[in-house]
Amino acid sequence: MQLQEFQAKKLLSGYSIGIPVGAVAVTPDEAEAAAAQLNSAAVFVKAQIEAGDRSMAGGIRAAQSALAAKAAAKELLGQKLVTSQTGPNGQTVKRVLVEARIQAVREFYLAMWVETLSGSIMLTAAEGGGAEIEQRFAMNALQLQSLRLSMKGGLRPGDLVELCRRIDLPEQAVEKFRELVERIHRAFIDFDASLIEINPLALTQRGDLVAVDAKFVVDDNAVFRHPDLAELSGEAEADRGELQAQRHQINFVQMDGDVGTVVNGAGLGLATLDMIRAAGGSPANFMDIRTTAKSLDIAQGIGLVLDNPRAKVLLVNVFGGGMQPCDTIVDGLGIAFRRSRRVLPVVLRITGNNEDLARLRLANFNLPKTECSDMWQAVTRAVAIAQGRA
Amino acid sequence: MAILVDQNTCLLCQGMTGWAGTYHTNRMMQYGTKVVAGVTPGKGGKSHLDVPIFDGVAEAMKATGANASAIFVPPDNAGNAMLEAIEAEMALVVVVTERIPVLDMVRVREALVGSRTRLVGPNSQGVLAPEVCQIGVMGTDRARRGTMGVVSRSASLTSEVVSQLTRVGFGQSTTVGIGGDPVHGIGFVECLELFFADPQTQGIVLIGEIGGTEEQEAARYLRENGIKKPVVALIVGRSAPPQRRMGHAGALTIEAPGDVEGKIAALQDAGVAIAPSAHLVGATMRDVFAKRAA
């Protein structure tokens, strides 16, 4: 769960981490008032969405006066912002953050995250900051300096000083930097973060370190420990179907092809997409029915595929395991078709636990179906139907 | 001999008295696994499925000689269950639970350093030595005792591959689900080491997917240490839309992008035979052995 910038900064300032002075506005008039209050020669008006890479998409505007801030807010509020991280539908801007411009002497990049292979918390820093960092990162021209931390912190002072030297942080700022790292680490643990990124981190004339932009991602698996944070989320217009599927124990991702897929298991789901492409077809969705899903949940997930006007065929690829037998999934299929006004041809490959029972159940549903004994056969057949060749 | 488990494995189930614990413990017992104890705090002294229940892991080990644990504890408390088992010096801990907070796993990984415990999972279907011992929730009807080792990030693809291997005449020594979660216990490299050292195992299937860098690590290990037995790999996810969580939690963008082509190239470079599609894993292994015989 990614927090919006103003929420991230509010959390960080709770740990005495420096952030620019600013206020959130939901109307152009509020933005004007906020800018006037700041008493600053230049302000930024920043679109608040739950995704990054906003500046490239025009979501960050500089304004030289309160009136200019109002005009910028008017352009942003209510608009859909499409960035490289929002998906093609973008996110509607419901708020802007109006902030004083920070005069940085130097800029840095700072992130804390969980490295999966070692299973440890990493601190990563670099010289320079802002959108330019991502270009340098993409071009492999960025020297990232990293240190491993434990749950308790466990940072050796010597290591930190060495890191500061490598990112060319002025010596007078090292103590402030150490404090900052400790505070970020505390916030990271307290809020079950999987990523806190400060980019850019500004060093000011006065020697303060200020988080000019902040990204805060909370581990989805730990949201139950932070009911207060759960309330902050849900503003992003994540695909409604995908959320609905999540509630029914199904991982679902809408895609742009015409072969609808119903699969149990993430690995088998990915393999099915690969096979559809290899057969010259194009998947309409990714589906991973989790082992905890019951027939009614599964019916909901299959309903999403039936509702997708692009889908021309339903490919059911199921390997019944110890936790979820084949008949549970077939029952879901029958319920979904009974509820749906749209009938699609079904191609099935069903094998594993309770497959014979599943076949008996299937016979009762009277679906327009073809059963294949091999999954490659099923995939090629489904692709042929989608392309009008069968 | 299998890896990780054998006929002397005595299993303890943490969270045995819950619905999932009861159902799967029963299945494992029917398969022939020796289940000697259950642990549910507050229910010590009772018995369940004709097995004694204890309040704690250390106590249960002392009383029954359990040398492996299966964890069926819900995600909010699974981390603590793992820490308890590690502290009690349990040799093997298999975690089926999914959606465990990542920082709980960071804490568990810290506890594993220098410990006597091997952790499998979380979000794993478990470990199966066909016809010998089942710890986990996988289907078992297609599995046959034999010479193939299977190590996988995906439960569903393990079932698929086991079925294909049995069909082409290859039984399995052991199948291991290292789990679909980003931070987990033993990985590809440790399983490859164990399979290379296991006399029963003659060939290995490695099942990987998009995200993370574990397949690249496996390739590096094989390049540096030599590929001592034939390895076939299936890597899925080349058609996955970018930047999306596809069932298994993906890696952060700050880590090296775990793209499928890069993984395949690295493994190929290390001498691994790549199965061109998920339905061709059994056939690929058959071809590898046919070529060796010729």
The predicted structure's pLDDT at residue A304: 95
Beta-strand relationship, A250-254 and A259-263: unpaired
Residues A348 and A284 placed together within one structural domain of the fold: yes
Q: Are residues A132 and A222 in the same domain?
A: yes
Is A231 annotated as catalytic?
Answer: no
pLDDT score of B277 more than 70 = yes
| Mutate which: A270, A354, A374, vs B, most B CBs within 10 A | A270
Domain that holds residue A93: 21-101
Of the residues A223, A238, A253, the one at which a domain ends: A238
Task: For residue A234, name the pLDDT band (cuts at 50, 70, 90).
Answer: low
pLDDT of A68 strictly over 70: yes
Q: What is the CB neighbour count within 10 angstroms for residue A294?
A: 13
Distance from CA of B141 to the nearest CA of A (A): 8
Query: Do B247 and A121 lie within an 8 Å CB cutoff?
Result: no
Q: DSSP letter at B270?
A: T
Under 8 Å CB pairs connecting chains A and B tally to 186
The answer to whether residue A286 scores a pLDDT higher than 80 is yes
On whether both A257 and A324 belong to a single domain, the answer is yes
Residues of chain B above pLDDT 70, percent? 94
Number of Cα atoms under 13 Å in the Cβ half of residue A88: 5
Give the residue on B whose Cα is nearest the Cα of A325.
B139
Interface predicted TM-score (ipTM): 0.93
User: Angle CA(A117)–CA(A123)–CA(A129) in degrees, nearest 5?
Assistant: 120
Average pLDDT over chain A, rounded to an integer: 91
* Contacting residues for B111 by C-beta, under 8 A, at least 6 apart: B82, B83, B86, B87
pLDDT in tens, A114-166: 988 899 999 999 998 776 776 776 666 677 899 999 999 988 889 999 999 99
Same domain, A340 and A363: yes
CB distance B148 to B156 below 8 Å: no
- Residue A346 sits in the same domain as residue A254: yes
Residues A290, A263: one domain?
A: yes
CB A369 within 8 A of CB A347: yes
Give the nearest partner residue to B137 out of A151, A222, A322, using CB atoms: A322
Average pLDDT over residues A281-305: 95
**CATH number for the domain that contains residue A81:** 3.30.1490.20
pLDDT, tens digit, for every residue of B210-230?
888 899 999 999 999 999 999
**Do A150 and A118 share a structural domain?**
yes
Q: Which of B153, B207, B239 sits opposite A277 (nearest CB)?
A: B239
Stretch B197-212: mean pLDDT, rounded?
A: 95
B30: exposed, middle or buried (C-beta count within 10 Å: 0-12, 13-18, 19+)? exposed
| pLDDT tens digits, one per residue of A86-100 | 777 788 999 999 999
Q: What confidence tens digit (pLDDT) does each residue in B236-257 have?
A: 999 887 655 544 443 334 555 5
Domains of chain B in sequence order: 10-120 (3.40.50.720), 141-293 (3.40.50.261)
Size of chain B in residues: 294
CATH number at residue A329: 3.40.50.261
- pLDDT value at position B121? 96
**Cβ-Cβ contacts under 8 Å, A117 against chain B:** 187, 212-214, 217
Are A100 and A21 a contacting pair, CB within 8 Å?
Answer: yes
Q: Quick one: average pLDDT of A66-76?
A: 95
Give the full edge-to-edge strand order of the sheet including A369-371: A259-263, A313-320, A346-352, A369-371
CB contact under 8 A, B183 and A119: yes
Contacts for A66 with CB less than 8 Å, ≥ 6 apart:
A32, A33, A35, A36
Nearest to B27 among A124, A219, A322 (CB): A322
Q: Whole-prediction pTM value?
A: 0.92
Mean pLDDT, residues A26-53: 90
A15 among known catalytic residues: no
Q: Which residue among A101, A118, A139 closes a domain?
A: A101
How many structural domains comprise chain A?
3
Give how far B52 is from chain A: nearest CA, Å. Answer: 25
Asked whether residue A65 falls in the same domain as residue A137, the answer is no
Contact A176, A208 (CB under 8 A): yes
Give residue A355's pLDDT: 95
Q: Which residues in chain B touch residue A220, judged by CB atoms under 8 angstroms apart?
A: 249
The helix (H) or strand (E) run that includes residue A347 is strand A346-352
Query: Token match 């413990």: residue?
Result: B25
- Do A83 and A178 lie in one domain? The reply is no
Q: What is the mean pLDDT of chain B?
A: 93
Q: Which two tokens stand for residue A7?
A: 């929420």
pLDDT, tens only, A250-272: 999 889 999 999 999 999 999 99
Give the pLDDT confidence score for residue A86 in this predicted structure. 75
Among B24, B48, B184, B248, which one carries the catalytic annotation?
Answer: B248
Q: Compute the distance between CA of residue A285 and CA of residue A208 in angstroms, rounded to an integer.
A: 49
